[in-house]
Structure 1
């Protein structure tokens, strides 16, 4: 564990990472932390907060860039350890490291631009009746943030992933609860962050990382009064446990939990008629990518029944039967996936269309494709539940209005995809308003796996996709989760923060008396 600038072995229950491809324990043993370790990490974060949140934009951007440089400098050792702990292939993890570094550099640029401060200045109007005082606004960091590492992205959604990067960009110290599936990877990354803290001369409490049981360490972390927000990616059960813990505090705090999503694909009639086979094979490529262990995996397909959907299904079956099983991240995830597939296979009115090929590793997950009709789906809420892995359900509609009926019925989603042609315009216009209410990202003629890290990305959505539909965990807007507005009335010029001074030393775009200006 890394608590501030100290490095120490947890004194509680030792544990090992498991290689999911072989089932073997990996050395070394890691020690779990205690509630006292949580107290130390949170106390350091609290002490660091005021100094860190008032670092200059240039200092904070340089810190994020230094973390990115340090991650690159680890070299092959990071990828090798992550491969052992996750079963993910080298090329995937090298791409994920690139994404992690890219996120850090994106937030360095976001910080430097300063637009996130949302500065506004309203001049005093002493002769108005009633008089208006001088009013100025900026956003400031919320406070220390607890971040929970995710199982399915050992780099991009973990110790130095998007939640950590956006919280540090906002000016919030971070205490990470590392995921138990990849402790060695987490330690390597945490040391890179710790080294960046020291190299940039920042308070040691800006970053800490703990190991330990989620119920003990996680609950203690979320309940600690120094923690002012939480970032989490994982199961609905885990996310809601944190939401409840945060709500029961004397001071409730926000939990930004990304949880479950089935990511429906709607195939409109003309697109299906013209491209059934191509869409079907591409769908299977998306479904089985990374053993289906993406939060944007296409778990539902909705279309009109008939020869065109039959052609789609035939192409999908052929493609899936040719896909080898892939190693899943942990024995627990593998077991849960098989339970979900068995549940679908035993559901009344659901037909198994195809399975992927058998695997030869300890946790090899075979893809699964099922089909049902709209009436059966609408009558059984359990069919909507996410199966985390390469499993999907095709829903056959008997009339076009059922596509919208199913869209209305669905819970909140991270994504919703529509395949369409120009002559599907009427159906698309009817579907779009429903999908805007249901999903954080709407795609046309593409597949939902793959989340671009950019300014326009939303990786969020209505419950249960996330616990707060107003936010995103990916993209530049992720910083907003960890900020709050402060208004300053009639402060003397010598007391004003730089972002609000009249001569605009930071050269920010600001709203001055209702007009956006760089002055």
Structure 2
């Protein structure tokens, strides 16, 4: 239905975005915030049509889509508020000390926008991580034009949302290049967008192979650019002995729901469950197996994800030493994901890299450890993750400090006695983690701190007050929080 953009057209799009950048970057924080709120209003105005189209393209239920649309609107509004407050600018002011030897100059620093940002829509979140999702919203907040490449799995949904954003741009009377929406099913489009000299940053949510390829293209440029890619995570859960002893069945039921939530199509799906062999782990395994057997398969987002799940699951189950513990008793229909639990010894897991790979769907692997020392060894062999979870009592934590440190070291979000599925949109959220979970663990793709990904610091030295940006002027006309001579204040500088 939608034609792939050509390289010649990409060049025109990027030239338009670069031109628009020099206009948009000068818009005030309030103007940017109002623009983002206008986008939220336009998306809400799409009404039932948007939900119907997205449901047809993604197989997601109406309730999930309405919830995700609400989250997307909330992101736009909350990031708009954060944009306007200006705390993300990290304004720093050190006033001059002329009588110091040598004299100390007046130095003022803040974050400024990078330039045009290319955003790749995610397959599993047609709203919240796609066309008007978190990457787009935070880039707009930072003062950057956005070029979105629609995900082919929900191209029509993406097109509807793109038109809503375009209407907001037109109503603001701003240059069209502030937002552009393109289509492309082949890698050539993505490569051309990444390699264009006017592209200054990239946002991506998807597979490891896709994100790593974008990262490699970006770093092979004459001018390397940052790629903020969320790629692969199996979100290990460590079942500590005392906690398992008092709540094995309850935890198993809790995790049966988490593993199969949304047919397992979340980047925070718990793909590893790690415990010490014994009666408690056996009880946990038996309860989890019984729960999984009763959960019916459900249709996955599209046939590509369904085929990938089947292939990855079969590959994992075929590995030497892997035992299939439980599969849903309800036969899966075409494009449905069948809930599955497998089990393996810690030694086999550590030595087999195939078992460290993400199986994107309702699948989880129980790792059986001989003792807590071996659990520590497993933790040290797990690659970087978005999340890691401890199911533990206070005594478990106090008595296993080395394990706790090892688990914290491998993740971006460290959870105690909960499930990793569900990502709250708030300032304190960290949705990112060490490689290969993301390409830069210093940043979050959820929460207003994500704005900082698309900005860079600039220090202004010895500038007269009248010529400084409003954010750094003595009188603080924007009324934002600033660190002045090492003190966080809103008051003007006299």
Q: Under TM normalisation by the shorter chain, which class is it?
A: over 0.9
Q: How does 1:17-416 map to 2 (within 5 A)?
A: 29-358=1-330, 361-416=333-388
Deviations 1:282-327 (A, max 9, x none): 1010111111010000000000111111111111111111111111
Matched position secondary structure for 1:182: helix
CA distance in 1, matches of 2:97, 2:325: 72
Matched position secondary structure for 1:415: strand
Structure 2, gaps ≥5 residues long: none
TM-score by length of structure 2 reads: 0.98
Alpha-carbon offset, residue 50 of structure 1? 1.7
Matched position secondary structure for 1:225: coil
Alpha-carbon offset, residue 428 of structure 1? 4.5
Alpha-carbon offset, residue 485 of structure 1? 0.5
Summarize the Cα distance change of 1:267–1:174 in structure 2 as closer, same or farther, 3 Å threshold.
same
Q: What is residue 6 of structure 1 aligned with on the other side?
A: none
Alpha-carbon offset, residue 430 of structure 1? 2.4
CA distance in 2, matches of 1:173, 1:433: 40
The answer (yes or no) to whether the contact 2:259–2:269 under 8 Å persists in 1 is yes
Alpha-carbon offset, residue 431 of structure 1? 2.2
The answer (yes or no) to whether the contact 1:359–1:365 under 8 Å persists in 2 is no
CA distance in 1, matches of 2:383, 2:346: 16
Count of aligned pairs: 491
Alpha-carbon offset, residue 251 of structure 1? 0.4
Alpha-carbon offset, residue 213 of structure 1? 2.4
CA distance in 2, matches of 1:360, 1:380: 29
CA RMSD of aligned residues (A): 1.1
TM-score by length of structure 1 reads: 0.93
1:437 matches 2:443: no
Matched position secondary structure for 2:73: helix
CA distance in 2, matches of 1:130, 1:45: 44
Q: How does 1:491-506 map to 2 (within 5 A)?
A: 491-506=463-478
Alpha-carbon offset, residue 109 of structure 1? 0.7
Alpha-carbon offset, residue 202 of structure 1? 1.9
CA distance in 2, matches of 1:77, 1:176: 21
CA distance in 1, matches of 2:206, 2:189: 16
The answer (yes or no) to whether the contact 2:397–2:404 under 8 Å persists in 1 is no
The answer (yes or no) to whether the contact 1:268–1:427 under 8 Å persists in 2 is no
Structure 1, gaps ≥5 residues long: 1-28
CA distance in 2, matches of 1:391, 1:305: 21
Point out 4+ residue stretches in structure 1 off by more than 6 angstroms: none
CA distance in 2, matches of 1:214, 1:412: 29
CA distance in 2, matches of 1:148, 1:422: 42
Matched position secondary structure for 2:395: helix
The answer (yes or no) to whether the contact 2:332–2:338 under 8 Å persists in 1 is no
The answer (yes or no) to whether the contact 1:415–1:442 under 8 Å persists in 2 is yes
Matched position secondary structure for 1:468: coil
The answer (yes or no) to whether the contact 2:108–2:459 under 8 Å persists in 1 is yes
